[in-house]
Amino acid sequence: MQAIDLSKWFYLGILALIIGTIMIYRAKLNKSKLMENGYMLVILGLVGVVSEFTDFATVLLALIIISGSVLLIDKLFWKKNRADGDTNPHYVHYSKEFFPVVLGVWVLRAFLFEAYQIPSSSMRPDLTVGDFILVNKFDYGIRMPITNKVIIPVHNVSRGDVVVFKDQTKPNRDLIKRVVGVSGDTIAYINKKLTINGIKLNYQDDGSYDYNETSPNGPVLISTSKYIEDLTGDKHAIIVDKHFPPVINEMVEDFKGKENCSYNDEGFICKVPAGHYFMMGDNRDNSLDSRYWGFVPDDAILGHAIYVWLNLSDMSRVGTKID
């Protein structure tokens, strides 16, 4: 049986739970700043622990259910046994304060907008490390919590969209890539140029693009060539590194639907299954994407990336529209 690799946030969550519980107990059941801080630590601890096994939206939903259940039980049973004028027990008092706040945050994140931070260079040149991006959650329809199935359609996911989705190889991790193929498309990537359904894309030379990449030995300057790719009407910048092949075949995983693909030294050809998408990073030679781990199902789609709203290292990027 494989051991679970727990992160530091899990152990910090356990510590916060212990300290928070002690603070609540030491407050002697009286609502005070000590008890308020204790509850805050307990909540943060629960988030840290539970987030290790599920996504943050599900954690928020669980907290809504817990606090809402306390309020419902109080209304149906506990309140009837309290004398007139008695104050609410501390667990009812803080549930009343907590419930509307977490409900509002959950609705905002689940159905409207969510913020993410770019952790890698896979979407350069348009998105850089440190970009905080705003993701439109309802652009692709209203989705059921947990299952993420569309219940009210709005727009379809289209080629060229920059999309945030659930990682297909690691739980509780989200990725951002560009959609280059939708259901039914035949995608060919030969000698670092895309062909979609037999149509070769146009590429316009746009000079060079250099950036620093962190390595164990310090920053390394990466030199690439920049092109404007016309993805059947959607024009955007990509970069390629002449030192790498179109796909490193040794890194290709045994993913679901791999029988729809064929690989060789020049690249690959894939037929996108129904209800799935083919994703690629704009930094074509520094991106682990559908070439390596396969297709993305529709119920893994989380939203459409639309703007950069913050980058502490480069404030000029604030307000940059994501093409």
How far out from the chain centre does Cα 46 lie? 20
pLDDT for 85 beyond 80: no
Q: Say if residue 76 is in the same domain as residue 179.
A: no
Q: Which of 86, 112, 138 is the last residue of a domain?
A: 112
User: Does residue 168 sit in the same domain as residue 100?
Assistant: no
Residues 94 and 184 in one domain: no
Mean of the pLDDT values across residues 68-91? 85
The angle formed by the CA atoms of residues 26, 30 and 34, to the nearest 5 degrees, is: 50
**Minimum mean pLDDT among 3-12, 142-151, 230-239: which range?**
3-12
- Partner residues linked to 37 by β-bridges: none
Q: Is the peptide bond before 125 cis (omega within 30 degrees of 0)?
A: yes
Task: Give the best-scoring range by mean pLDDT among 49-53, 80-84, 301-305.
Answer: 301-305
Q: Predicted confidence band at 104 (pLDDT cuts at 50, 70, 90)?
A: confident
Active-site residue among 122, 166, 192, 226? 122
pLDDT at 2: 38
Residues 56 and 163 in one domain: no
Sign of the alpha-carbon dihedral angle for 241, 231, 174, 100: positive
Would you say residue 1 lies in a domain?
Answer: no
Host domain of residue 241? 156-304
- Asked whether 227 and 240 are in contact (CB, 8 A), the reply is yes
Task: Assign 1 a pLDDT band (cuts: 50, 70, 90).
Answer: very low
Q: In terms of domains, do 91 and 205 share one?
A: no
Q: Which residue has the higher pLDDT, 1 or 192?
A: 192
Q: Is residue 151 part of a domain?
A: no
Q: Which percentage of the chain shows pLDDT scores above 90? A: 59
Tens digit of pLDDT for each residue in 242-289?
Answer: 999 999 999 999 999 999 999 999 999 999 999 999 999 999 999 999
Q: Is 122 a catalytic residue?
A: yes
Examine residue 99 and state whether it is found in any structural domain, yes or no: yes
- Are 281 and 160 in a shared domain? yes
Look up the CATH number of the domain holding residue 268.
2.10.109.10
> Is residue 137 in a domain?
no
Q: What is the pLDDT of residues 15-53, one digit of tens each?
A: 999 999 999 888 876 667 888 888 889 888 888 888 777
298 and 182 co-located in one domain: yes
Domain identity same for 108 and 193: no
Whether residue 3 is contained in a domain is answered as no
Confidence of residue 198 (pLDDT cuts 50, 70, 90): very high
What is the overall mean pLDDT for the chain? 90
Global pTM reads 0.80
Inside any domain, residue 199: yes
* 167 and 96, same domain (yes or no): no
- Say if residue 80's pLDDT is above 50: yes
Return left, alpha or beta for 3; rule: phi > 0 is left, psi -120 to 50 is alpha, else beta: beta
Strand partners, 283: 239
Tell whether 89 and 34 lie within a shared domain.
yes
Please give the average per-residue pLDDT across 91-98, as a whole number.
Answer: 87
The number of domains in the chain is 2
* Residue 105, domain member (yes or no): yes
Q: Are residues 80 and 188 both part of a single domain?
A: no
* CA 73 – CA 280 distance, rounded (Å): 50
Question: What was the pLDDT predicted at 217?
Answer: 81
Alpha helices, DSSP H, located in the chain: 8-26, 33-50, 56-76, 90-107, 290-293
In this structure, are 163 and 299 located in the same domain?
yes
Identify the pLDDT of residue 144. Answer: 84
Q: How far apart are the first and last CA of the chain?
A: 45
Residue 31 pLDDT: 67
Within a domain: 241: yes
* Catalytic, out of 95, 120, 137, 177: 177
